[in-house]
Chain A
Amino acid sequence: MLIKLEQVSKIYGEKETEIRALDGVDLQIDFGEVVTIMGPSGSGKTTLLNVIGAMDSPTSGRVLINNRNIANLPERSLSEYRKNILGYIFQNFYLLPNIDVLGNVLVPLVPYIIREESKQHAISLLKKVGLEGRESSKVSKLSGGESQRVAIARALINNPRIILADEPTGNLDSKTGRNIIDLLLKLSYERKTVIIVTHDPRIAHTVSEHKKGRNIWIKDGKLIQDPDFDIYEWD
Chain B
Amino acid sequence: MIIFSIKNAFRKKGTAILASLGVAFGLMLVFVVSAFTAGLKVQFEDNLTRTLGIVNVIETSEIGPESKLPIDIVEKIYATEGIGGSILGYNVETQAPFLFTVEYADKLRNTGDAIALSGLNASIDEEWEGYTTNLIEGRSFIPGQNETIIGTNLRDIAQFPVEIGDIIELTLNPINATRVNLTIVGVYQSINDGTPVFVPQNYFIYTDIQFIWDMLAEVNKTINTYSLVQFRFDVRSNLETNQFVEKINNASENGDFSPTYVSAFALATFYEAVEENLSVIDTFTAVLGVITILAGGMAIIVTQLMSVSSRMKEFAILKATGWKNVHIFVNIILESLTLSLLGAIIGIGIGFGMIFLLSGESSPFGAAPAIVNFIELIKVFVYAISLGILGGLYPGIKAARVRPVVVLKNE
Contacts and interface: CB of A to CB of B under 8 A. Distances in A.
B321 A82 contact: yes
Contacts of A80: 322
A90 B327 contact: no
A98 B4 CA distance: 10
Given A75-B325, A90-B408, A94-B313, A53 B4 contact: no
Interface string B195-225: 0000000000000000000000000000000
Interface string B293-318: 00000000000000000000110011
Interface string B327-346: 10011000000000000000
A55 B405 contact: yes
B151 to A, nearest CB: 61
Interface string A83-102: 11010101010101111000
15 contacts: A50-B405, A55-B408, A76-B324, A79-B324, A83-B322, A88-B321, A90-B317, A90-B320, A90-B408, A97-B11, A99-B4, A108-B323, A111-B331, A155-B321, A158-B322
Given A98-B7, A98-B11, A53 B320 contact: yes
B404 interface: yes
Contacts, number: 65
Contacts of A92: 411
Given A79-B322, A79-B324, A107-B318, 15 more contacts: A46-B409, A55-B408, A79-B319, A79-B323, A79-B325, A80-B322, A92-B411, A94-B314, A98-B7, A98-B8, A98-B11, A107-B321, A108-B322, A110-B323, A111-B324
B191 interface: no
Interface string B384-411: 0000000000000000000011001101
A99 B314 CA distance: 13
B328 to A, nearest CB: 9
Contacts of B313: 94
A154 B324 CA distance: 17
Chain B interface, >50% SS class = helix
B4 A88 contact: no
A182 interface: no
A110 B322 CA distance: 10
A110 B4 contact: yes
B333 to A, nearest CB: 13
A56 interface: yes
B41 to A, nearest CB: 46
In the complex, which of the residues B1, B314, B330, B408 has the most CB atoms of chain A within 10 Å of its own CB atom?
B408
Given A75-B325, A84-B322, A110 B317 contact: no
A232 to B, nearest CB: 26
Contacts of B4: 99, 103, 110
B7 A99 contact: yes
A103 B320 CA distance: 17
Nearest to A99: B7
Nearest to A160: B322
Contacts of B411: 92
Nearest to A164: B320
A104 to B, nearest CB: 10
Nearest to B11: A98
A86 B411 CA distance: 21
The 6 closest A-B pairs by CB, nearest first: A83-B322, A111-B327, A108-B321, A79-B324, A94-B317, A56-B405
Contact of A55 (B320, B327, B330): B320
Contacts of B321: 82-83, 88, 107-108, 154-155
Contacts of A82: 319-322
Contacts of B325: 75-76, 79
Contacts of A103: 4
A70 B337 CA distance: 36
A84 B324 CA distance: 12
A99 B404 CA distance: 22
